[in-house]
Structure formats: C-alpha cells, structure tokens
Structure 1
C-alpha cells in the first residue's frame, strides 16, 4: 500500500504479507518474516512500513533505519558495536551498513522508516 495522502493504521492488528528470509540469514530456529509497506517515496529510497519476525536467530545488513517496537522482544547485536534489548515502546536507530544478529525471544512487530542510499 503506497499512498500520497494522510492516513492512520492500527499496527497491532494490521494484516501482513509473508516476506521469506534468505536461508543464509537464519542462524537458529525457523523464524518467519512478514510485513507491509505503508508508503514508499517515488525514487524508492524512503520506505515506511510494518515488519514482524517470529522467534529465532537471524543476521542482516541494515539500512539507515528508525523503528519503534509495538510488541515482542529481541536482542540485537551490532557487529563491532553495541548489543541491546528491545521491547514494546522502544525506539531504535540502526545505521546504514550495520551488520546485525537478531535473537528474537517473542514475536516482534515494529513500525519503521528506512532511508536507502
């Protein structure tokens, strides 16, 4: 759903679409990812949406992102950087190129804004 008008969405109840992980990203468990793009800039460099992951351990290389956790809990370890726990109500900033390992303890749902290079 991309829109050029103002809107509101109920994040906890939003219907999400499956967004399968690359098998190489899965470290442990059988985590499943789903999401929904709510808005994308015309040049595709700014994306806002909802993302969810079920328990497990995965790796990722991040974009420049700000997100707020709506539900669930995870520990995020940034390679050569900090490790932090996130849960409902926490805001997190990840930098472009951060290599991360996500240990998802409880299904995590977040609202995000990503800026791509």
Structure 2
C-alpha cells in the first residue's frame, strides 16, 4: 500500500557477534544490530538491537529506544537504572554507559 510500510518486529533477525574485548566488563556477551529503515531525509535510523547476558561499556549516540524483551541495568557515573520490556529510554550522545544485561535484551531504536 502506498505510504504505509509494516515491519513485523518478531520476524526481524539479528545476527550476533562477540562484544569487543576492550568493552567487556563481565561475561562473554554478544551483540547485534539490524537496521530496518530511515525516517525520510532526517538520517534517523530505526532498527533492532540485541545483547546477550553480560556487561559492556559504551559511549552513546543520540537515541530513543523501546525495550521489547529482556532486562538490563544501565549505569552512568555511578547511578543506575533498571530497564525492561515496555520501557522507553532516551540516551544522549557522548554519555559513557555500562550495560549489564541480566536477561537477553532486544530493543527497537531510533538513532
């Protein structure tokens, strides 16, 4: 149908690879991203990101995401927040984070 695209998120496959060894805090986490689409000429990418159980350090880009499944603790400057299915989260570019995934995490992101 012109002007309408439907993306079945449950059918979006995400290929994982081992997290960069220099970013791993604990465990042997794997990560994966599948870009789905972009929003017009804005350059905003929409996709699905996953991470297995473990902990990694990251430096964020401007992003809004919705947790579809799983749970994680995100730590910034010693303060932590637990996120899980149904949570909408806003990250600011340049923020140094540590992600501790306790149940395999799947999120829909706009970045």
TM-score by length of 2: 0.86
Change (3 A) 1:24 1:43: farther
Assess, with a 3 A threshold, how the Cα gap between structure 1 residues 37 and 21 changes in structure 2: closer, same or farther.
Answer: same
Residue 113 of structure 1: aligned partner: 110
2:33 corresponds to which of 32, 35, 46? 35
Task: Identify the range of structure 1 (27-36 vs 41-50) with the bigger mean alpha-carbon deviation.
Answer: 41-50
CA distance in 2, matches of 1:53, 1:108: 5
Question: Structure 1: which 5+ runs fail to align?
Answer: none
C-alpha separation in 1, matches of 2:24 and 2:49: 17
Q: Which residue of 1 aligns with 2:55?
A: 57
Q: Deviations over 1:10-46 (max 9, x none)?
A: 2233211235422111110011111210124688942
Rounded to whole Å, the distance in 2 between the matches of 1:45 and 1:97 is 18
TM-score (norm 1): 0.82
1:24 match: secondary structure: coil
Corresponding residue number in structure 2 for 1:15? 13
Cα distance between partner residues in 2 of 1:75 and 1:12:
24
Partner in structure 1 of residue 46 of structure 2: 48
Q: Which residue of 2 aligns with 1:93?
A: 90
Taking the aligned partners of 1:104 and 1:72, their CA distance within structure 2 comes to 8
How far 1:83 moved relative to its partner? 1.6
